[in-house]
Structure 1
Amino acid sequence: MGNSFGKLFKITTFGESHGVALGVTIEGCPAGLEIDENFIRTEMQRRKPGQSKITTQRKEEDEIEILSGVFEGKSTGTPIGIVIRNADQKSKDYSHIADKFRPSHADYTYFEKYGIRDYRGGGRSSARETAARVAAGAVAKMLLAHKGIEIQAYVSQVGGLALEKSYQELDLSKTEDNIVRCPDPVVAEEMIELIDSVRKDRDTIGGVVSCVIKNTPAGLGEPVFDRLHAELGKAMLGINAVKGFEYGSGFEGVKMRGSQHNDPFVKEGDQIKTTTNYSGGIQGGISNGEDIYFRVAFKPVATIMQDQESVNEAGDVVTVSGKGRHDPCVVPRAVPIVEAMAALVIADYLLLAKSNKLVDL
């Protein structure tokens, strides 16, 4: 239960952080889609550990192996199976917490739910599981490319250090030019220094990933419980360490009056557009053709390299010592994860839209 996402374009992930491998099955991918394995590998490289001084030093190449659903470079319409084998597990790093509950981790809740837990790196609750989502998201991006839909995420805040510019004022093509994945090079250097200083303090810090989806057609979304923004929110809140999601004007919109916040419609050529976009490209739970933009808040990573007081399975007071290899800030590696989950949502709703009108069938 809870390991699948999507309705028509549906994924199911499997595997643990310190198991033999992680993997994903993708159902519903239309036949005939050209599957670019190199593009999937590029996306995996953006998420993989050990890529810079401000990420975990676990060394995983995250090489993909496509097991099924692809023949002569194209999808066959049958389930696509992808596996990512683990190579650099150091399970002994976790033996000291075999019966201890780490603060703000899933140790206690998994134990209460199942009566057993894989303490090696958190098992299924580890953020390493997201490698499978990025692989699936890469396939979804290939599908979206046929419609000209582009998804770009970037780091917009680390701790209290935030970009002052909106995405329209930034050159998002510069996002991959630095290790923190912030498109403003000056602010990026400040973010890197902040994360590195936190790492040296043996601590962690949170941040925000912003994302924009361009060229989405109007009409995507299912009333009333499967609204497009609700599904995007579910997708983002299902990512490890996420504590908040807002789209469009978000919480800042409460400061405005309706006369300021409404997005007036205008006709531009043969298209209906809006002069402003406080709605974030979604109205009534359905895309209106404008840019969809949202922000995702990530908490500080729960594993810190400091001693903390906790309890064990018997309820005895214990000391939990931070060991192993962990990110001082998760947001640089979360950028491709946010993009992947957004791609999965939009791909699913594109396929669902085919059933909305008789002319589309």
Structure 2
Amino acid sequence: MSSTYGKIFKISTFGESHGRAVGVVIDGCPAGVKFDSEFIQNELDRRKPGQSRITTQRKEADSFEVLSGVFEDFTTGTPIALVIFNEDQRSKDYGHIADKFRPSHADFTYHVKYGVRDYRGGGRSSARETAARVAAGAVAKLVLKSLGVEIYSYVSQVGEMTLEKKYQDLDLNLIDSNAVRCPDAEMADKMFNYIDEVRKQGDSIGGIITGVLKNVPAGWGEPVFDRLHAELGKSMLSINAVKGFEYGSGFEGVKMRGSAHNDDFFIDENGVVKTKTNNSGGIQGGISNGEDIYFKVAFKPVATIMKDQDSVNEAGEKVTVSGKGRHDPCVLPRAVPIVDAMSALVLVDFMLRARTNK
């Protein structure tokens, strides 16, 4: 099993949904970085369950503890170990599916691959693991802070309900002003009500999160196999429930001619090379060009629903899987900080790799 990510700034996550704890070991973090515990906790609070009635009602404080790698509030350059103890597991909620494969979950594939699986909330395949990623991503953000890199993610679509405004026309500082994490108040209200209606019906719904990375210096990326957009795509597709990734003009770009799609260069008033348009999404040849990097991440509907579904058990017998327990009707609001975290982990690794090339 691959639980490690990164080349220089490496993270290894551990733990299961209903185990004692989840956590992460970070190796390669530079020494002397101010370790802002309050900031890291705030990032975890953005992901934790129980934030509103449109999220799972599992109650986890998601408070973290530092086991190593920090001394007098600064990183020491040695491995940083962070742990988040689970507090509100209800393993009994999963007893009824101990030998059943839940549709569109990892139950069947984990059983085939390993011959054993933790049926309590999916064990290692649970999105509970992403709490560790968010903690690591918060540390990555602290490293990037000195360069002025800004990372934003927001909910731009729920089902067929789409925010048509471009990110340039939005106040991204309003992302956390509502439970949906959509920076447009009117659309956020509509999305909230829609998700709540889906919840009442015992169903789930998917959508899209838009990511925007600002002030990324030109020159980050490692062609040919570790192109910046390829690594962003890989990191996003490693998140639970993600089904698609596109950056820049994405799939819509196929409708354009090259004369319209090409981003013409010019020199701005500060003597910096810029582009008149940004269909490239801030990345050319797999390397950042200094413009905003923007992308979309598509999330499927949450697989656990409060409806009966046909399935089979480990003995190959037909069974009915009944929904039970506490689950998100829509993963998007809590996935925003996860997209942020994975963006930060990709960028900080490329930042450190760029330094080794000079």
Q: TM-score, normalised by structure 2?
A: 0.99
Matched, 1:328 2:329: yes
2:348 alignment partner in structure 1:
347
Paired position in structure 1 for 2:3: 3
Q: 1:209-220 alignment to 2 at 5 Å?
A: 209-220=209-220
What does 1:27-176 align with in structure 2 at a 5 Å threshold?
27-176=27-176
Q: Which amino acid aligns with 1:266?
A: F
Whole-angstrom distance in 1 between the partners of 2:221 and 2:303 = 35
Number of equivalences? 357
SS in 1 for 2:305: coil
Name the structure 1 match of 2:320: 319
Cα distance in 2 for residues equivalent to 1:146 and 1:28 = 17
**What is the SS of the residue equivalent to 2:246?**
strand
Partner of 1:271: 272
Distance 2:33 2:271 in 1: 30
Deviates more, 1:13-22 or 1:269-278: 269-278
User: For the residues of structure 2 that align with 1:61 and 1:270, how far apart are their CA atoms?
Assistant: 49
* One-letter amino acid of the counterpart of residue 317, structure 1: K
Equivalent-residue separation in structure 1 for 2:177 and 2:140 (angstroms): 24
Is the partner of 1:168 in helix, strand or coil?
A: helix
SS of alignment partner, residue 147 of structure 2: coil
Question: Is 1:289 aligned to 2:299, yes or no?
Answer: no
Mapped to 2, the partners of 1:355 and 1:38 lie a distance apart of: 31
Measured after TM superposition, the shift of residue 356 of structure 1 is: 1.3
CA offsets, 1:306-334, max 9 Å, x none? 00010000110000000010000000000
Q: Which contiguous aligned blocks of 4+ residues in structure 1 show a shift greater than 3 angstroms? A: none
Letter in 2 for 1:93: D
Per-residue deviation, 1:27: 0.4
User: What is the root-mean-square deviation in Å for CA atoms of aligned residues?
Assistant: 0.4
Q: 3-state DSSP class of the match of 1:146?
A: helix
Q: C-alpha separation between the residues in 2 aligned to 1:292 and 1:199?
A: 34
In the alignment, the residues of structure 1 paired with residue 4 and residue 257 of structure 2 have an alpha-carbon distance, to the nearest angstrom, of 40
Cα distance, 1:355 vs structure 2? 1.4
Percentage of pairs with the same residue:
71
The separation in 1 between residues aligned to 2:187 and 2:38, in whole angstroms, is: 31
The one-letter code sitting in structure 2 at the alignment partner of 1:154 is Y
Mapped to 1, the partners of 2:243 and 2:61 lie a distance apart of: 28
CA distance in 1, matches of 2:149, 2:263: 22
The answer on 1:228 being equivalent to 2:228 is yes
**Amino acid corresponding to residue 337 of structure 1 in structure 2:** I
Q: Structure 1: which amino acid aligns with 2:351?
A: L
Superposition deviation, residue 12 in structure 1: 0.2
**Quick one: which amino acid aligns to residue 280 of structure 2?**
S
Residue identity opposite 1:274 in structure 2: T
> What does residue 248 of structure 2 align with?
248
Q: Distance in 1 between matches of 2:32 and 2:345?
A: 18
- 5+ long unaligned stretches in structure 1: none
Matching residue of 1:19: 19
What's the TM-score once normalised by structure 1's chain length? 0.99
- Post-superposition Cα deviations, 1:220-279, rounded to whole Å, max 9, x if no partner, equal 000100000000000000000000000000000000000000000000122100000000
The answer for unaligned runs of 5 or more in structure 2 is none
Q: What secondary structure is seen at the aligned counterpart in 2 of 1:279?
A: coil
What is the SS of the residue equivalent to 2:210? strand
Q: Which segment is superposed worse, 235-244 or 168-177?
A: 168-177
Report the CA distance between 1:108 and its aligned residue: 0.2
For 1:125, give the aligned amino acid. Answer: S
Rounded to whole Å, the distance in 2 between the matches of 1:320 and 1:132 is 30
Q: How far off is 1:288 after superposition?
A: 0.2
Q: What is the DSSP-based 3-state SS (H/G/I as helix, E as strand, rest coil) of the residue aligned with 1:251? A: helix
Structure 1 distance, partners of 2:55, 2:255, is 37
The CA distance in 2 between the partners of 1:191 and 1:51, in whole Å, is: 16
SS at match of 1:295: strand
Measure, in 2, the Cα distance between the counterparts of 1:200 and 1:87: 27
Q: Which residue of 1 aligns with 2:238?
A: 238
Instruction: Find the aligned partners of 2:41 and 2:171 in 1 and give their Cα distance.
Output: 25
Q: Deviations over 1:99-156 (max 9, x none)?
A: 0000000000000000000000000000010000000000000001000000000000
Equivalent residue of 1:354, what SS?
helix
Q: Take 1:270 and 1:256, find their aligned partners in 2: how far apart are those partners?
A: 30
Task: Give the whole-Å Cα distance in 1 for the aligned partners of 2:164 and 2:114.
Answer: 45
